[in-house]
Structures are given as structure tokens and as C-alpha cells.
Amino acid sequence: MAEEIDFHPMWESLGMNLADHDMLLGAVGQMYGDIFLTQNNRPKSTSYLDFVATNIHSGRIKEMLDKKEAGEATKIVGSFCVYVPEEIVLACDGIPVGLCSGADWATDKVEEHLPRNTCPLIKSFAGFKLGEVCPYIESSDLVVGENTCDGKKKAYEFFATQKNMYVMDIPNVHDESTLVTWKAEVKKLAAKIEEECGVKITPERLKAAIRAVNEKRRALQRLAATRAADPAPISGLDSLLTVQAAFMDDTPRLTGAINDMAAECEQRVEAGEGVAPKGTKRILYTGTPMAVPNWKLFNLIENAGGVVVGEESCTGSRYYKDLVDESGETVDKMLDAIAERYFKINCAVFTPNDQRMKDIVQMAKDLHADGIVDVALQFCTLYEMESFAVEKAAEEAGIPFMHITTDYAGEDAGQLQTRIEAFLETI
Ligand code: BJ8
């Protein structure tokens, strides 16, 4: 539990809108309680997730600001995409944070700057900034964006009028020549972060950062592997939250906590203990990322009587499945290894994106999924378009499939619940 500290002075010093932020925190706290704390038979070690949720806008922000104040950290660097290498920020004693964009906020203000038919994730980060309710955005000294989808690309032009921004150019094709360009882009980012943080990246610093992030990803892989068991030892909701937390919490603390969770889940698998009875319909989630506090779909699937056993998404396997090769000895070689690792992320912005289809089918098989639920956020052309290829791959593999288009509002929840229940009945 968080200490009884009044964090309002801290939020005020960050220039936040205190009344609106109180309202947001109240709503998210209520939602967390309703969704997470009502789950049955959670692993005890998920208390770490409750700790993260309790401290997310308070204790964790204070901790980051205190570290900067004490000279233990240089800068806070925010990002919106798993293509932005956190190892580089850590190597400069910076604190990397994923900026949450999982709830509608200040939509009227947002629509003065961005079209109405923009995906909710983009509108959300713009709304959190315009509404001054996100302490991660406000405490970030630099925000690193990326040219991925058209919506983000253009929205960053607006966001750059609000925050100190740097935008990475992400290729749209995976081949040898684009890998060369991408490696150069990663090196440009390293130079930018060095300049911003006032720290020169040395081989020792970068190696330590690579190892720390690899350890974090290994812990997440270990936890994910336990979900192949029936009964599933941990819910999809809690698993989603581990990755959401991985974007925000301190790296060694999170790694330790995830390893504890994995150890408990391994014991549960041995004991045949699960969050849902053996034989519960098992779902592989694939699609757009689910940023905090977007827990809607997972909540609907698990309330409908299914259990999510894997996530092929950037708030899932794409975040942890690949590691950086640790054998490089020079900064140049290590940055190349970082670029190579990130280049394997199969975002729908790439064309063709066949490896994503292979990953989905492989994950469904490895995790013994009974069905695939493919989700696109409304107005996300990339994932909407790619859903046809996902459906074809699922069909060819003989795996039941359903596609959902949704947003952050709750209006479609009843209708979605009915559709999901019907899907679970057919598989
Ligand atoms: S690597 S998936 S985190 S870009 S949902 S904003 S794509 S219109 S989030 Fe992503 Fe990086 Fe790719 Fe992953 Fe655009 Fe679609 Fe919105 Fe999206």
C-alpha cells in the first residue's frame, strides 16, 4: 500500500489540473477494484500488480522525480511505441516510461486539433496532455515518438507543440536495406538521448542496460510459458497488467516481481490450480495494444466465461518475445544488436507482415488456444486491414476466429459480451 502522503503538491508542481486528475484517479481506482479485485483465485503474488496500480500516478512518479533530484537519474523519457529502445535511455541513467493512452479524456479539446475519426489511442494521449491529467507526460523531459501509423505520425506534429519531442523514423518494410536505415536511426536516437541526458554511452553502461532489459523480458517469457497449462494459472487481465506495468515500473523491481509471479504460477501448474476451471475456453488475443487503463476486452472475454492465455500484441508477446544479443563488446555493435532485436517486432505498419500471421498461429498452438479474438481499435486502418490476413491464417490452421472493432467507451460492452459469449459457445 502507498504511504499516506498528499501527492497534490507534486501534481501541482507538474502543472496538472488537480480537480480533473482527482476525478480520473477516482474513476480508474473504481474500475481497477471492480475488474481486478473481484477476480477469483488470483495468484497471491499479483499483490505486486495492486501495488503498481495503487502507486501508478503517485508513489512511482515521486520515486522518479526523487531519483532525478538526488542525481541518481538524468531524465525521464516517455514513448508511445515498443519500437523505441528503452536500453538506450537506461544506458544514459534515464528513466524510460510508456505513456498511457487507454482512456478517453478531454475529447472536445482534442477534436480542435485532430480529426474526430482518429483512433482512440491517439486521441487519448492528446487528451491526457490537453487535459493535464497525466503525470507521466508532464514529468517527461523528452517524448520519443515514431513514424508508424499515419495517425500517430501526424498527431506527433501537434504533440510537438506541447512537449519536447523527438520522432524516430520506422521503416515499413523488413529487408536488408531497411535494416541498415533502422540501425542508423537507432544510433541517431542514442546521440539524441546522450545529448538530452548529458551522459556518454559507454560499453559498460550499454551492456548493463541490455542485460537488465533482457532479464525483464526473460521474466515475462517465463510467466507467459506457464499459461500453456490447463487450468491457466493466471488470468489474462493480470497478465496484461504485467506488461502494462513493464512500461512504467522500475526495471529491477518489476523483474523480481514477475519472476515471483512466474514461480508461483509454475507451482500452481504443478498443483493443477488455476484462475478458472480446467476446460475453460482458452483465447489468444491479437491486435492493437491495450494501454492502461484499457482492460475492457479482457474483462469482457473473462466475464463471458473464457480465459485469455496469450496476447500477440505490443502489450503482450511482441514486447518480450525477443532479446538483444548480449555478445557485442563495443557501443556500435551493441546498438546494432538492439536495432536487430527491435526490427523483429511485427507491427501492422510493415508490409508484408507475414511473420505476424505465423506468430499468431504458433502462439495459438503453443498455448492450446481454442479460439483467436482479433481486435482493432476503431479507425485503426492498419489492424482493420490486417484482420483479413489474420482470419485467413486462423482458418488455414483450423482455429476459430472472431474479429472485433471497438473503442474506449463502454457503449458497445453489452453487445460485445453477447458476441463473445456466442463465440465461446461455438468453439
Ligand atoms: S509497434 S502496434 S506500439 S505503432 S491503434 S495508434 S497503429 S491507428 S499503436 Fe503501435 Fe508501435 Fe505498432 Fe506496436 Fe495507430 Fe492503430 Fe491507433 Fe496504434
Ligand 1 neighbour 405 (Cβ under 6 A): no
Distance, CA 231 to ligand 1 centroid (Å)?
32
* DSSP notation for 35-58: HTTT-SS--GGGHHHHHHHHHTTT
Q: Residue 282: what pLDDT? A: 98
**The Cα angle at residue 344 between residues 406 and 321, in degrees rounded to 5:** 75
Q: Residue 3: what pLDDT? A: 52
Q: Residue 184: what pLDDT? A: 98
Q: Can you tell me which atom of ligand 1 is nearest the CA of 347?
A: 12
Q: Can you tell me which atom of ligand 1 is nearest the CA of 377?
A: 5
* DSSP notation for 307-366: EEEEEESTTTHHHHS--------SHHHHHHHHHHHHTT---TTSSS-HHHHHHHHHHHHH
Q: Residue 100: what pLDDT? A: 79
Ligand 1 neighbour 289 (Cβ under 6 A): yes
Q: Residue 344: what pLDDT? A: 97
Which stretches of the chain drop beneath a pLDDT of 70? Answer: 1-3
Orientation angle between helical segments 203-226 and 251-271, nearest 10 degrees: 20
